[in-house]
Amino acid sequence: ARKEAFDLVRKDPELKNYPQLWEELNRRFIHQMELVKVG
C-alpha cells in the first residue's frame, strides 16, 4: 500500500497538498501491517 502511495505521489505531486489523503493512506498501510502481524 505504501509503495502504491509513493507511486501516486510520483505520478501526481499535487497529492502532497492533501495531508488528509496522505494520512488515510498511511493509516491503511499501518492497519495492513497490524493484520499481517496478527496473522
Q: What's the pLDDT at 27?
A: 92
pLDDT digits (tens, 9 = 90+) for 7-34: 766 776 665 667 788 888 889 999 999 9
Q: What's the pLDDT at 14?
A: 67
Q: What's the pLDDT at 28?
A: 92
Q: Which residues contact 8 (CB under 8 A, 6 or more apart)?
A: 15, 25
The mean pLDDT of 32-39, rounded to a whole number, is 86
When divided into structural domains, the chain yields a total of: 1
Whole-angstrom distance, CA of residue 15 vs CA of residue 38: 31
Per the structure, the complete domain to which residue 14 belongs is given by 2-38
DSSP the chain: -HHHHHHHHHH-GGGGG-HHHHHHHHHHHHHHHHHHHH-
